[in-house]
Amino acid sequence: MKQYRLLNISLGWLSFLLAAITYILTVEPTLSLWDCGEFIATSFKLEVGHPPGAPMFMILARFFTLFAGDVSRVALSVNIMSALASAFTIMFLFWAITHLAKKLLAPDNPEPGTGQTIAIMAAGLTGALAYAFSDTFWFSAVEGEVYATSSLMTALVFWAILKWENEADKPYANRWIIFIAYLMGLSIGVHLLNLLAIPAIVFVYYFRKYEFSWKGFAWAIVLSFAFIALIMWGLLTGFIVLASKFELFVVNKMGMPYNSGLYLLIILFTVSIIFAIRSSLKSSGREKIIAFSIATVLFSGIWLMAESTFVNILLLAFLAYLVWRFSARGVVVLNTALTVILVIMIGYSSFATIYIRSNANPPMDENNPENIFSFLYYLNREQYGDRPLVHGPYFNAHVVSYDRGKPTYNPIDGKYEITNRDLVPEYDERFLTLFPRMYSPSADHVEVYRQWNNFKGKPVQVSDQSGQTRIERRPTFGENLKFMFTYQMGHMYFRYFMWNFAGRQNDTQGYGGPFNGNWISGIKALDESRLGPQDNMPEHMKHHPSRNAYYLLPLLLGLAGFYFQLNKNRKDFWVVLLLFIMTGIAIVVYLNQYPNQPRERDYAYAGSFYAFTLWIGLGVLFLYELFNKVAGSRLSAIIAGLLSLVAVPVLMASQNWDDHDRSGRHTATAVAANYLKSVAPGAVLFTNGDNDTFPLWYAQEVEGIRTDVRVCNLMLLNTDWYIDQMKMKAYESEPMKLTMPKSKYYDGVNNQVFIIENPRLTGFVEIDKVVEFIRSDNQGTKYRFPDGEEYDYLPTRKIRIPVDRDKVLASGTVRPEDADLIVPYIDITLEGSYILKSQMMVLDFLAQNNWERPVYFVTGYHNDAFGLEEYFQLEGNAYRLVPIKSQNYNWLDYGRIDTDILYENLMNKFTWGNAADPDVYLDYYHRHTLLVVRSRLNYAKLAKSLVAQGDSDRAVKVLDHIMEKLPLSQLPWDNYMPDIIDAYLAAGDNETAHELIGAMKEYYSAELDYYTSLPVNYMRNADKEIQMPLGFIQRVVSSCRKYGLEETATEMNAMLQDYMSVYYGKMQ
């Protein structure tokens, strides 16, 4: 037993070491895209991130940042934490596999035979390392996000219940149950995904303690979901709901200070549970134990799970009844249950960090959860809205009326006042359904619904507001389910599953077409049956680093383990199956994702892939028993082990290393710094999405880059808490001048400000008067709607921004040599029937700023830009608002250029984070980010402006610079390379232009040869892939003709016509 145990422990640590070395060698040295910047920033300074928060992750990451030594290494320290957490996950996975494997081969033998031991250890290494080198897990292991730590928590609790299984009959075995409960409490502060391991844990307990029966099996399932519900909607939110009731009563009714109700509940709960546990340990009178236990249940809020008070009271009564029943059977079960509640709450107490830090008002304080009501809003993720799960509308359901929902409370003058009540839409009942999957009314989502299930619907006659009737096609329930199976389960889960165990086509985000984001196997016949012919594929596609093929070997080995466990140990099979389903398909059902997600979501299902690698490990035992029929036990184990290790984890590592190696890549941080370096001192920079905001937060909060700049996210500017933060000073950044009182932008107030034109206002109205009209509380500035409610409104859509010539010159907004170009005013004509709260606040800021502070937008052509693109000046990765009108060509080519400013920024300030290094891999999202910031286009525009000024030498220098920093070998041909070629020709560098044209011809000929050789049904799906290169070639032809290169133009045009002839000929 000791030898086996020592070997098991040693190889577990070996698996940890192999994984840790792999992850540390390939870890990203700095910031990654998406939420990583936010998580690292909030961890470094213990600030408040997006709902529902990850305080336990934040505390752990803060500890690791203490060893950074320098702010530039803070991100690396958090990334290494993820790497180590992932390596520990692999170690606990190894021990879970060997535990299950031993039960299959030598359940009653404490010291298995040599052959059996080799097979068991090989199973552990194969399964653990398969997960270590899997696509999804490796991706999360090398960046500063919560999913690596969350995976560790899942692996740890699963390993812990298996340890309990070994000791279940020993005294104090329940310590493992208490340990698991504590881990669950802690894991809530990382991610709620860990709660989905509860059904597997319950079934391990059930199979170990009870004889199997279908009745018991059913009860185990019911209890599994009941435990999840009691923790997720009972303890976690119920306690805060109860605290809000206490708070409202003691503050509003008794005149106590803020937080008095919260403190009172904490004291009552703490006293109750301490006395309840103490009474159970001392075997005090049953009545006392029952009284304190029921008080614990009452003050825990675990019974506050429903919207209905009546249902909640029934649940409280039922829980009180259970306390009474358990007390009659002895105190052990009751003591354990009470201790479980206590340790979960101790773990859950990490959320106090969020509450405490929010009250300190740090620069990053999302949702501002500094009172119990905003904290509850934060925990419930109400900022993101609701997705219907059990019952709800289809996407084209008509709203027949609105009801007032729950109130929003805000602290005002020592009390909590209702500042708004939610508007709850009531839908036409004919368009409501059970289990709605197609619910989003967004036009692009509706289009996807139609594409994925060939939607036809059932005709229903509806009436609009004017009484006109028309026929609307309501989806059928079958079409609803078809979308769930094809898109939500097929595209958004099974595709990810196959990425990890069959192979991945490329890392370009997939939307359902055959050319991007699919799974592949490497088996030609199978891949061609799904994705079309693969023979004529261009070399850069065929050998792309992200194209990984495993030839179905991990999948087949996992299915062998699935079969082997099903036949050898059905109880353990049910445990693993439940873990697999709950962390996979169950998440699909719960998330109910809408189409066109902004990024791939495979990380959400990592737990399911973890479960499958348990079967991959057990697949080694299948091979062992297979070989054991013809060879000796030891030889069979060695052959099965070596064959499995080489065929699965070694193959996966060799395929995945090049596209999962992030070492040396500093691109995300560089792009973030470039945004900030683009703007003048003290500027306000309006941003839009995640990747032009979170990295900037990191750059400022962690590395201290340009803290004089106020980054203002326009999406968040629709929230009251964010507007409050914009009114506060942050580091060297002064508050934004905003005059709207909070009563004008409370949550739910002025989310939309309708435009109801006053016929007497025929001309343009100055912006300060428009803002004052909205700000006013005068009855004359309100519009009464048919429901009797009065709302603020805009009496005009024509707004004028005056220009103070002296001020714009003095502030440097306009250079003296451009003084003659200054316009006396800028006119805005609002579109649509209303403006959003964010637009209201931007108008307020523009009115109060009055050209004092530099104003920048990262992009134009969105609602909050108000059509001001004609007055934009490109200064890098951002456009400055200037009172000089310029030519606005299209949504890509707009904004004037000050060559001195732009040259200084692009040539002397901008960096690209080792993007030119051939050993650095730029994945799809980094390539896409460089496309979004128009990196090459901005340099091309600068070069053309220099040519226009007669400075062709510097123009060529600019173009050479960007092609050196972002070479085609690293950032392949994109939308803006025709602009680079055009700029070279304009600057007179025909030699470089010819080289690029030749490279372009070679690159796109290979792609077009492939796409136009496909059968018509596949070629129809390649419309974008064909049309874009044809458009680029056409642009180059035009450039060649414009600059007198007729021979090249003729050659490229002939190529263009040939491909167009083939393409359109086949499409007819």
**pLDDT value at 283 more than 70:** no
- Residue 638: pLDDT band (50, 70, 90) is very high
Q: What is the pLDDT of residue 1?
A: 59
- Assign residue 248 a region: left if phi > 0, alpha if psi is -120 to 50, beta otherwise? alpha
Q: Where exactly are the structural domains of the chain?
A: 391-434+439-474
User: What mean pLDDT is predicted for residues 584-613?
Assistant: 93
C-alpha 473: how far from its chain's center? 33
User: Cα-Cα-Cα-Cα dihedral of 480, 485, 490, 491, to 10°?
Assistant: 10
CA distances 567 to 563, 571, 575, 620, 623, Å, are: 6, 10, 14, 15, 14
- Stated as kind and residue range, the H or E segment containing 128 is helix 114-132
**pLDDT value at 282 more than 80:** no
Rounded Cα distance between 607 and 191, Å, is 12
Instruction: Kindly report which listed range (19-23, 554-558, 595-599, 770-774) carries the lowest average pLDDT score.
Output: 595-599
**pLDDT value at 422 more than 90:** no
CA dihedral for 168, 171, 177, 182, sign (positive or negative) = negative
For 124-135, how does the pLDDT look when each residue is reduced to its tens digit (9 = 90+)? 999 999 999 999
Rounded Cα distance between 766 and 826, Å, is 10
User: What mean pLDDT is predicted for residues 1038-1059?
Assistant: 93
Residue with tokens 């004092």: 852
Report which of 739, 721, 736, 738 is spatially closest to residue 684, judged by C-alpha positions: 736
CB-based contact 943:983 (threshold 8 Å): yes
**pLDDT value at 50 more than 80:** yes
- The pair of three-digit structure tokens given for residue 412, joined into one six-digit string: 């005002």
**pLDDT value at 692 more than 90:** no
For 501-512, how does the pLDDT look when each residue is reduced to its tens digit (9 = 90+)? 999 999 999 998
- Stated as kind and residue range, the H or E segment containing 784 is strand 782-784
**pLDDT value at 148 more than 80:** yes
Query: Quick one: what percent of the chain has pLDDT higher than 70?
Result: 99
User: What mean pLDDT is predicted for residues 922-944?
Assistant: 94
Q: What is the pLDDT of residue 960?
A: 96
CA dihedral for 101, 106, 110, 113, sign (positive or negative) = negative
Mean pLDDT across the chain: 93
User: What mean pLDDT is predicted for residues 398-420?
Assistant: 89
Q: What is the pLDDT of residue 104?
A: 94
- Residue 190: pLDDT band (50, 70, 90) is very high
- Residue 764: pLDDT band (50, 70, 90) is very high
Rounded Cα distance between 515 and 1019, Å, is 10
Q: What is the pLDDT of residue 284?
A: 66
Amino acid at 989: D
End-to-end CA distance of the chain: 74
Q: What is the pLDDT of residue 879?
A: 95
Rounded Cα distance between 495 and 690, Å, is 25
For 820-870, how does the pLDDT look when each residue is reduced to its tens digit (9 = 90+)? 999 999 999 999 899 999 999 999 999 999 999 999 999 988 888 888 999
- Residue 420: pLDDT band (50, 70, 90) is confident
For 61-77, how does the pLDDT look when each residue is reduced to its tens digit (9 = 90+)? 999 999 999 999 999 99
Say which DSSP state 737 is in.
Answer: -
CA dihedral for 969, 971, 975, 980, sign (positive or negative) = negative
**pLDDT value at 171 more than 90:** no
CA distances 273 to 27, 277, 291, 577, 1005, Å, are: 44, 6, 11, 36, 74
- Stated as kind and residue range, the H or E segment containing 186 is helix 175-188
For 340-367, how does the pLDDT look when each residue is reduced to its tens digit (9 = 90+)? 999 999 999 999 999 999 999 999 999 9
What is the 3 state secondary structure string of 819-859? Answer: HHHECCEEEEECCCCEEEHHHHHHHHHHHHHCCCCCEEECC
Q: What is the pLDDT of residue 729?
A: 95
pTM listed for this prediction: 0.93
Amino acid at 158: F
- Residue 500: pLDDT band (50, 70, 90) is very high
Rounded Cα distance between 1003 and 759, Å, is 59
CB-based contact 828:865 (threshold 8 Å): no
User: What mean pLDDT is predicted for residues 991-1016?
Assistant: 94
User: What mean pLDDT is predicted for residues 464-469?
Assistant: 73
Nearest-5° Cα angle at 677, 674 to 680: 145
Query: Quick one: what percent of the chain has pLDDT higher than 90?
Result: 79
Report which of 162, 160, 210, 213 is spatially closest to residue 186, judged by C-alpha positions: 160
For 527-576, how does the pLDDT look when each residue is reduced to its tens digit (9 = 90+)? 999 999 998 899 999 999 999 999 999 999 999 999 999 999 999 999 99
- Using the CB atoms, write b or e for 907-934: b if 16+ within 10 Å: eeebebbbbeeeebbbbbbbbbbbebbb
For 649-683, how does the pLDDT look when each residue is reduced to its tens digit (9 = 90+)? 999 999 999 999 999 999 999 999 999 999 999 99
Please, which residues have CB within 8 angstroms of residue 80's CB and are 6 or more apart in sequence?
Answer: 24, 27, 64
Rounded Cα distance between 887 and 869, Å, is 9
Q: At 38, phi and psi to the nearest 5?
A: -70, -45
Q: What is the pLDDT of residue 462?
A: 84
For 935-979, how does the pLDDT look when each residue is reduced to its tens digit (9 = 90+)? 999 999 999 999 999 999 999 999 999 999 999 999 999 999 999
H helical segments located in 692-747:
694-701, 720-726
